Each structure stands twice: as C-alpha cells, then as structure tokens.
C-alpha cells in the first residue's frame, strides 16, 4: 500500500546515502544494523564461524572499545583463534612497528578503530590496512568515532568491513550500518534468522535472500533509518573539512585554556586526534568532578569509557572526557574552564 511503499523508498534512500557517504561500490554492500556493536558481532560470528580455525590470529589494538574486543573473544573461544594486541606509546598512539611484527602467516583478521573514543587518537588506518591488504588479510574498521569527523572512503582504505552508528552522527539511537565487500558478504552465512532475510521457507529447507537483506532479519527500525538520512545530510551540508577545522580550533582553544589549571593532567596527547579532551585533575576523583560539572550544567563523560584494557595500560581507572562538536563555541569552553577553576579552588 502507499504508505508502506513510501516508507520503503525513503529507507532505501538512506542506504544509497550511506553508500555515497563512504564511497562503497554498491548499495547492496550496506547493511542496516542496530549500531556499531551489532555490526561487529555480525562480522565476528558470521565471518569468524566460516573462516577462523584453531591457531588463526586476530589483531586488535590497545585502544579498542569493548565492542571491538568482546565479540572477538567470543568467536576466539569457539574456534580456538588467538587474539594479538598492538601496543601504544605514552601519547596514546599505536606503535605501528610492533603491528608489523605481530602479523604472521596465521593472521586472518585485523580489526581496529579509526579513532579512539577515549583519547581521540586518529590511527594511521590506511597504512595499517595497506599492509594487511597486500597479505590478503581481512580487515574491519570500527568507524563509530570517525564518521562525524573524518572523510571515509572504503575503496581507498582497502577495508573489507566498516561500521558506524547513527547516534554518533547526530542521528537516532538503535541504528547503524555495516559495510562489507560483496564477495565476502555472499560467502558468509546469515547472522540471524527470521523474516525478510529469506527467499523461500519450507520445513525441509530455507533459502536466503540476496544481500543486503540476508543480514537484515526482522522488522527494521524504519523511522530511525529514515531519520539517519537527515543526519548524514546535515554533516554533508557542512562538509568534513569545515567540521574538522572548527573542531580542531575548539580542541586547541580548550587545551590552551585548561593546561594551566592546577593539577590538570591531559590523557592522550597525540598530535593527530579528533576533538576529544580526556583528562584528570590531581586530587579530585573523576566521578566527583563529573558530578560537580553536571551541577553547573556542563555534560562530560566520566569512567573507563568502555576501554578498560586501555585504562589498565595507563594505570588509571578512568578519565573525564569533554567532547567538542561542530556546534560548540569558544564561549562554552570559557564557561567550562571557569567551572573547573571554581571546582579546583574548592578542593585546594
């Protein structure tokens, strides 16, 4: 009926928008999921169950979010695969030379984030994936933190899988995408069974739908998918270059303002990072600091940011993280600075 057809048309328009946003070859290579976590689980279970064997290696990094660690641990336990970890330096940057040493004839997957959610570090993902591509190693990029900030070109990056979430891009929660190369998507089994992902069902045998629908079991979040299209259009209307310029200005302004505050300790000091300022104040617990800032109307994230292995490596239990977006202003950073000074003075 008319409304259903219109909804389907608008939903598929989002798929086309995502395809162009990341420069995929085909619209069919874009799968709608519940978000980045769902996408990574899909790859780990569907691809991993098909291609991983005992002794095969999965390379992750010290900077990964739990959603790019736990799914690989689950499939490693099932298959007997081994997880290797790229270490970082004191600035929160990947030690690429150590990555080269980790790669072996048994390496089957390199799964890394493009940008660290805790530190904002922008990883040299193109260099890392080029090395994997030349050795026929499958790769997956967690682009959740990169998608609102950086240009993404899956063909230029030579990645096999890439995923991100709508809510990181000013869109609704509960929606994300998985990009996968057609040949790989067609070679792996469905992640879930149900409606839409089938071609024909009988009690004797079921045949599966073509991609991308083979991986989209059940009723999708149609309204949120359509809203996601508007979020992408918002980013495209500004342009990643303009977004980066504004956010870099805000980050540098904030660092210059906050660095002289008594006890201020920046965490993650890479020269190449997005607009994330992770820090501690000596003598004030990060949870207390977060609550006191919240009381002044300033929203920051506190805790381990779903990166406990990273925090363990740094020898801390968490940080305060201020994230600046294209809509923020220097006046807001001034308010943030003054609030921090008042809090620090109270504890002095």
- Residue 91 sits at φ, ψ, to 5 deg, of -90, -5
Beta-carbon neighbour count of residue 105 at 10 Å? Answer: 7
Is 65 in a helix, a strand, or coil? Answer: coil
Distances from the Cα of 159 to the Cαs of 75, 99, 143, 238, 269, in angstroms? 21, 17, 11, 26, 27
The Cα–Cα gap between 174 and 300 comes to 22
Encoding tokens for residue 279?
């820090």
Question: Is 163 among the catalytic positions?
Answer: no
Buried-exposed string 240-278: b where 16+ CB fall within 10 A, e elsewhere: beebbebbeebbebbeebbeebeebeebbebeebbbbbb
Q: At what angle do helices 2-21 and 222-238 cross, to 10 degrees?
A: 40
Which of 83, 255, 261, 306 is catalytic? The answer is 306
Encoding tokens for residue 156?
């230029």
DSSP strands (E only) in the chain = 30-33, 57-61, 82-86, 107-113, 138-142, 161-165, 176-180, 198-201, 206-208, 264-267, 276-281, 301-303, 319-323
Active centre residues (catalytic): 306
């Amino acid at each position: 009926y008319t409304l259903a057809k219109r909804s389907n048309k608008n939903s598929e328009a989002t798929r086309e928008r995502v395809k162009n946003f990341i420069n995929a070859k085909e619209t069919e290579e874009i799968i709608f999921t519940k978000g980045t976590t769902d996408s990574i689980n899909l790859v780990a279970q569907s691809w991993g169950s098909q291609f991983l064997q005992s002794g095969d290696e999965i390379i992750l990094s010290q900077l990964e979010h739990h959603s790019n660690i736990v799914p690989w641990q689950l499939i490693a336990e099932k298959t007997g695969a081994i997880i290797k970890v790229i270490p970082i330096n004191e600035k929160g940057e990947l030690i690429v030379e150590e990555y080269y040493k980790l790669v072996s004839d048994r390496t089957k997957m390199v799964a890394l984030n493009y940008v660290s959610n805790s530190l904002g570090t922008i990883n040299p993902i193109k260099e890392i994936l080029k090395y994997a591509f030349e050795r026929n190693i499958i790769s997956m990029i967690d682009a959740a933190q990169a998608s609102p900030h950086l240009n993404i070109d899956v063909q230029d990056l030579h990645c096999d899988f890439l995923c991100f979430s709508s809510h990181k891009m000013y869109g609704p929660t509960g929606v994300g995408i998985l990009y996968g190369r057609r040949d790989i998507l067609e070679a792996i089994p469905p992640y879930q069974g149900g409606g839409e992902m089938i071609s024909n069902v009988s009690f004797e045998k079921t045949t599966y739908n073509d991609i991308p629908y083979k991986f989209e079991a059940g009723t999708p979040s149609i309204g949120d998918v359509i809203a996601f299209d508007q979020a992408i259009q918002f980013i495209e209307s500004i342009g990643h270059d303009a977004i980066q310029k504004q956010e870099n200005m805000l980050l540098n302004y904030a660092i210059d303002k906050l660095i002289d505050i008594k006890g201020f300790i920046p965490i993650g000091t890479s020269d190449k990072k997005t607009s994330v300022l992770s820090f501690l104040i000596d003598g004030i617990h990060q949870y207390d600091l977060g609550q006191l800032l919240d009381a002044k109307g300033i929203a920051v994230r506190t805790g381990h940011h779903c990166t406990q292995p990273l925090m363990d490596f740094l020898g801390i239990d968490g940080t305060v993280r201020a994230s600046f977006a294209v809509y923020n202003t220097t006046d807001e950073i001034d308010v943030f600075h003054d609030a921090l000074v008042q809090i620090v003075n109270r504890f002095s």
